[in-house]
């Protein structure tokens, strides 16, 4: 790897430190950490624009940009599966997120596991969801670690100890997350998203001109020299069936992630949620163009280039120090800010749905708030240790994470609309779905279909077969969800 650029490195570090400082300033009001609800979901006071920035920063991470260009560099148009999956995800979310948000506000839920616990009166189910959520999030946080490590490795080769800088950066993020709660990543997300739009659009406009004289010559070059990049295989491990099932499973899993649910629960109204479902697909404009950067990298870079460094190496060989610094800092922020939101989601699950529900049900609110905030250091620390020890396992584990997270979809989304869904069938379906997913993944017998699709199919089948064997239990949450239209309302929890 060639020597880094001191100008680019200096700009990257300055922007990162500035954003971290803003994260601390966002929490200067003590109310930010006065309760779990304030710390984790901002008291549900965020308007549509803030939620758009927050959820956008949450879902469009460094892995999105580095991973898509890497996939396009290696496998061509298979990378486009990210476009239909996100379109489907927001379409589906438009119909269930407002109802989920309304229920969460009514009963002060801050996690999906909270909802499942009270919807089915089952601490076992909520704990299972919490355990799955935490375990699946650790590799996802690791990928953010990997993103900033790769960025600093390219920017700072020969100048810095990358591991020390990364550990320091993540410690600072953990510290400002502990201090500021969700307000820290929300306000820094505005900077990150503005940079993403500005820098990515600048790159997709300038790189074809720099290397080919424009977009038309670039596309002509792809058609002539690498036509395989423009087609999706009809069969094989990453053929059309994989493409379609990966898009479906990923779309259903998107808002099952703890960090995505955290972003949704910050909204102040159902209308803000609906508007975000309508306007978040705008990010697909950036995604489509980023995939083409992978094609450019394939044509421009040497054949021995490591695919995971494709975008970063393309930046390094195409721009001077200032442009490099802005691009690197954008990718670094796309690592650090989602890491903060993910840590909040994982900490909330552990403290509320494992510690409180299973270990210490009588914990006082003030102590629970401190435990929830403190868990940020444990979550990020585990991610750092795991990422440094097993760097090559991260991408495959994150893909498995999508297949794992989608298994809670019936427990969360289906139960919003199916009054007679039973606790026992839901739990067994979840366990069967996880078992099938891990079995298919471990044996490799997916037959060209995304692993999570097999698991989710088994999950739904088990649920529908077993559900008539049990009796649905009425709870305050189910009464609220299925109250009569004449105005009868459910009692709040504990009333």
**Residue 477, domain member (yes or no):** no
pLDDT number for residue 333: 86
- Give the predicted TM-score (pTM) of the model: 0.87
Place of tokens 């606790």: 423
pLDDT number for residue 32: 74
For residue 224 the two structure tokens come to: 């002539």
pLDDT number for residue 487: 46
Distances (CA, A) of 316 to 53, 76, 294, 297, 309: 28, 22, 14, 11, 10
pLDDT number for residue 396: 58
**Residue 479, domain member (yes or no):** no
Reference 256, options 128, 395, 404, 394; nearest CA is: 404
pLDDT number for residue 439: 92
**Residue 481, domain member (yes or no):** no
Rounded CA gap, 77 and 311, in Å? 16
Rounded CA gap, 371 and 356, in Å? 10
**Residue 307, domain member (yes or no):** yes
The sign of the CA dihedral 196, 50, 273, 338 is: positive
Give the domain extent around 331: 6-394
Q: Which residues, 6 or more positions from 171, have their beta carbon under 8 angstroms from its beta carbon?
A: 380
**Residue 485, domain member (yes or no):** no
**Residue 264, domain member (yes or no):** yes
Q: What spatial distance separates the first Cα and last Cα of the chain, rounded to whole Å?
A: 64
By residue count, the chain amounts to 495
**Residue 433, domain member (yes or no):** no
Within the chain, what is the greatest distance between any pair of CA atoms? 71
pLDDT number for residue 490: 43
Cα angle 404, 410, 414; round to 5: 150
Rounded CA gap, 476 and 489, in Å? 10
Find how far residue 292's CA is from the centre of its chain.
22
Rounded CA gap, 362 and 464, in Å? 36
Rounded CA gap, 14 and 33, in Å? 27
Q: Which residues, 6 or more positions from 62, have their beta carbon under 8 angstroms from its beta carbon?
A: 143, 144, 147, 148, 151, 331, 332, 334, 335, 338
Please state the domain count of the chain.
1
* Averaged pLDDT, groups of 10, the chain, 495 residues long: 72 87 82 82 84 79 80 85 87 94 93 95 93 86 78 72 79 86 85 86 91 91 89 77 90 91 90 88 83 90 84 89 88 85 89 89 89 90 77 60 92 95 96 94 86 94 96 91 60 44
CATH number at residue 84: 1.20.1730.10
Rounded CA gap, 83 and 300, in Å? 25
62-75 vs 283-300: helix crossing angle, rounded to 10:
50
The sign of the CA dihedral 374, 378, 379, 381 is: positive
Q: 258, 111 in Cβ contact below 8 A?
A: yes
**Which secondary structure element, helix H or strand E, spans residue 218, and what is its range?**
helix 215-225
Reference 265, options 65, 111, 439, 447; nearest CA is: 111
**Residue 400, domain member (yes or no):** no
pLDDT number for residue 491: 44
Phi/psi zone of residue 157: left (φ > 0), alpha (ψ -120 to 50 degrees), beta? beta
Give DSSP secondary structure letters for 189-243: HHHHHHHHHHHHHHHHHHHHHHHHSSHHHHHHHHHHH-GGGG---SSSTTSHHHH
């Amino acid at each position: 790897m060639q020597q880094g650029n001191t100008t680019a490195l200096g700009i990257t570090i300055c922007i990162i430190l500035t954003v971290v400082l803003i994260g601390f300033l966002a929490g200067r009001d003590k109310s930010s950490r006065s309760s779990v609800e304030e710390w984790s979901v901002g008291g549900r006071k965020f308007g549509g624009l803030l939620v758009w920035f927050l959820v956008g920063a949450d879902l469009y991470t460094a892995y999105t940009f580095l991973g898509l260009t890497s996939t396009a560099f290696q496998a061509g148009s298979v990378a486009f599966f990210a476009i239909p999956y996100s379109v489907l995800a927001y379409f589906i979310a438009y119909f269930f997120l407002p109802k989920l948000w309304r229920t969460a506000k009514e009963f002060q839920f801050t996690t999906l596991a909270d909802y499942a616990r009270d919807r089915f009166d089952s601490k076992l189910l909520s704990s299972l969801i919490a355990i799955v959520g935490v375990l699946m999030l650790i590799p996802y946080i690791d990928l953010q670690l990997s993103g900033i490590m790769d960025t600093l490795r390219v920017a700072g080769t020969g100048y810095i100890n990358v591991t020390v800088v990364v550990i320091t950066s993540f410690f600072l993020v953990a510290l400002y997350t502990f201090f500021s709660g969700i307000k820290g990543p929300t306000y820094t997300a505005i900077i990150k998203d503005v940079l993403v739009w500005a820098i990515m659009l600048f790159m997709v406009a300038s790189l074809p001109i720099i290397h080919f004289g424009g977009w038309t010559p670039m596309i002509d070059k792809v058609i002539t020299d690498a036509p395989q990049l423009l087609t999706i295989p009809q069969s094989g491990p990453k053929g059309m069936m994989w493409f379609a099932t990966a898009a479906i499973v990923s779309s259903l899993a998107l808002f099952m992630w703890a960090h995505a649910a955290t972003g949704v629960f910050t909204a102040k109204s159902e209308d803000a949620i609906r508007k975000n479902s309508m306007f978040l697909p705008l990010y697909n404009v950036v995604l489509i163009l980023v995939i083409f950067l992978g094609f450019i990298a394939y044509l421009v870079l040497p054949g021995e280039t490591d695919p995971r460094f494709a975008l970063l190496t393309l930046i390094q060989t195409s721009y001077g120090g200032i442009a490099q610094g802005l691009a690197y800092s954008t990718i670094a922020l796309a690592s650090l800010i989602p890491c903060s939101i993910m840590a909040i989601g994982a900490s909330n699950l552990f403290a509320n749905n494992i510690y409180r529900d299973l270990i210490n049900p009588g914990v006082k609110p003030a102590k629970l708030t401190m435990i929830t905030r403190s868990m940020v250091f444990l979550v990020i620390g585990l991610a750092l240790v795991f990422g440094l020890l097993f760097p090559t396992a991260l991408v495959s584990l994150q893909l498995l994470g999508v297949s794992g997270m989608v298994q809670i979809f019936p427990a969360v989304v289906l139960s919003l609309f199916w009054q007679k869904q039973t606790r026992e069938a839901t739990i067994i379906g979840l366990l069967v779905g996880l078992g099938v997913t891990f079995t298919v993944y471990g044996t490799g017998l997916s037959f060209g279909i995304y692993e999570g699709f097999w698991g989710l199919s088994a999950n739904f089948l088990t649920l529908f077969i077993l559900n008539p064997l049990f009796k649905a239990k009425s709870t305050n949450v189910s009464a609220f969800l299925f109250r009569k239209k004449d105005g009868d309302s459910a009692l709040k929890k504990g009333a």
